[in-house]
Structure 1
Amino acid sequence: MNLDGDLTEVSRAETRLQKLKRMTTSDHQHIDDMVMAMAPFDSRGNYARFLGLQYVFHRLVKPFYTADDLNVLIPGLSERSRFTSVCADIADLQCAVPEIQTPVAVPDAGMERLGWLYVCEGSSLGAAFLLKAATNIGLDASFGARHLAGHEDGRGKHWREFVDQVNGLALGEQQEQEVINGAIAAFDFFRILLIEDQKNAA
């Protein structure tokens, strides 16, 4: 047995979320590009459109955060939802609450929900840049851009805790694929929301 070789192979092995990131990188980049094309921080009107999309997405994933079975797998999950903060932002800016639309099927059970949570939690990690940009239109973590604020323990630490929890789950091959499918579906969902927003804004 080549112990050095075996250790090298182990060190090269992807974690669950590293694989998930690799398989959804293009989807993630496409969404980022579309969001930036909205110019959400050029005006409060543009930001209100962006906030409406956030409301729809966070409202639909909220049941995942409160699901009993997922909270057993990921302790503290129920405290991670940012939906309340999104609602507070909408109230701050006196925006209309958008109608809930479901252009793709949202799962109510199974491991696909972990893929959706990966997308939602990952967006929190990347929101530091957005929060900084929000100051251009007079918004911050206490007014209008609450949902973009980092966790009090720090964005990085909060994200790493989630990563460690999800990577530590014992999942079967089919469940692994469900997680990937869920993440792809979540990105597809947000992409469709952005496309519909573009049509309405035209």
Structure 2
Amino acid sequence: MTQHTVPQRRWDLKAATAPHHDRIDRLGSLYGMFDSLNAYRKYLKATWHSRLILETLLDESELKRIFSDWDKHKIQSDLQQDYADLSDGEELKRPELKFPVGTRVDLPAAIGTLYVLEGSALGATFLIQKTRLLGLGDEYGARHLAKQVGNLAGWKKTVSLLESVPLDKQDEKRCIEAAIYSFRTFEISYEKAFGEP
């Protein structure tokens, strides 16, 4: 079975998802998500909604077989706490998911999804500095970012999986499709929260 060279797979995924990644970055700037507490609250709610969907999908996958500490990398509960900090204790209401719990997610799709979620930890190192300007910190309002910054090893592990797990061309296609779906999930949530740009 012919496979891409190990490092090439990573760069192929990055290239295929670059327009979607760039779109998320542009929305962050356009909406000023970290410019005010009000905008930041909208960011928290939209990010929580997206992570809920994607983390639930990964919970239903075979990911734990190769990423045993996955539970330590989930941040939906941290996002809930951050939102409650800035909303007088108001809790986010769990939406009805558009897929049945128990939906199986194959390993290539799980890796593609993980690539997006763990990759966001790299951005968290920058974003957490912006929250300081809003008076927030690791124990108040920015827990999810602090957790991501503390889990940067997860990104290295994700890249290692991407480069080492045996995948044929169809598997690689599924991996890319899942990563694009993940970026689109965030994009749609942000547009719903802030309005069409």
For the criterion TM > 0.5, the same-fold answer is yes
Choose which of 3, 7, 16 in structure 2 pairs with 1:14. Answer: 7
Asked whether 1:136 is paired with 2:129, we answer no
Which position in structure 2 is the counterpart of 1:97?
Answer: 92
- Give distance in 1, aligned partners of 2:170 and 2:141: 41
- Give distance in 1, aligned partners of 2:187 and 2:22: 11
Structure 1 residues 1-202: aligned runs within 5 Å: 14-67=7-60, 69-94=62-87, 95-97=90-92, 100=95, 108-110=104-106, 111-150=108-147, 155=152, 157-199=153-195
TM-score (norm: length of structure 1): 0.81
C-alpha deviation, 1:99, in angstroms: 5.4
Segment of structure 1 superposing worse, 183-192 or 46-55: 183-192
Higher relative contact order (CA 8 A, sep 6+): 2
What whole-Å deviation, never above 9, does each CA across 1:95-153 have from its counterpart, x for those lacking one? 55155376899974123232122111111111111100011111112110111115576
What whole-Å deviation, never above 9, does each CA across 1:144-182 have from its counterpart, x for those lacking one? 011111557662x33212211232111222111100000
C-alpha deviation, 1:78, in angstroms: 2.5
CA contact (8 A) 1:55 1:83 kept: yes
TM-score (norm: length of structure 2): 0.82
Structure 1 unaligned regions, length at least 5: 1-9
- Give distance in 2, aligned partners of 1:152 and 1:35: 19
- Give distance in 2, aligned partners of 1:69 and 1:32: 30
CA 1:54/1:61 → structure 2, altered by over 3 Å: closer, same or farther? same
The size of the alignment, in residue pairs, is: 190
Larger Cα-atom Rg: 1
CA 1:171/1:64 → structure 2, altered by over 3 Å: closer, same or farther? same
- The share of aligned pairs that are identical, in percent, is 26
RMSD: 2.9
